Amino acid sequence: MMSNRKRETSKKEPRILVIHGPNLNLLGKREPKVYGKTSLSKINQLIEKEADRLGIQVTIAQSNHEGELVDLIGSAKGSYHGILINPAAYTHTSVALRDALAACGVPAVEVHLSNIYAREEFRQHSLTAPACVGQVSGFGEASYILGLQGLFRALKKR
């Protein structure tokens, strides 16, 4: 089950699907020294504010389940112009998510709150980033804002 209901801003273009992966529903309480004290709901508000400023429509979803994330990515074609995704732990393990991103034909930007390259060795490799147009890692909640801006610029160039 999605632990967050989908949130949607008012109808505009481009339309961006924002996807939060596993355990990000726990932000604020989860390892605050690594991930900060800001809740997912607050991060979503910041994303929506930036989306409004840029004139983007965002739909935001979170799931702890790999198959649901694959389905979300797969359903993006035709409905969304871009994907902003924090695949969380699946970044390092999921060939299925990488394949879904590569197959969907919708440009994606990967974001991480922490700098995954400065952490444990198993986090220093992203399976999903090569299927994305770019990655932002290490700026806390601002990674989402920078990622949204980068995705917006990449879409404008298309």
Q: Which of residues 14-73 bind ligand DQA (CB under 6 A)?
A: 23
Q: What are the backbone dihedrals phi and psi of residue 86, each rounded to the nearest 5 degrees, phi first?
A: -110, 100
Q: Is 112 assigned a catalytic role?
A: yes
- Compute CA distances 122 → 7, 125, 156, whole Å: 32, 7, 35
Q: In terms of CB distance, is 44 or 91 closer to ligand DQA?
A: 91
Q: Is 90 assigned a catalytic role?
A: no
The CA distance from 134 to 109, in Å, is: 5
What is the per-residue binding string for ligand DQA in 91-110, x denoting contact by CB under 6 A?
x-------------------
According to the binding rule CB under 6 A, does residue 7 interact with ligand DQA?
Answer: no
Which residue's entry shows tokens 């404008």? Answer: 156
2, 26, 46, 89: residue in contact with ligand DQA (rule CB under 6 A): 89
- Name the β-bridge partners of 85: 19, 110
Catalytically active residues, by annotation: 35, 112
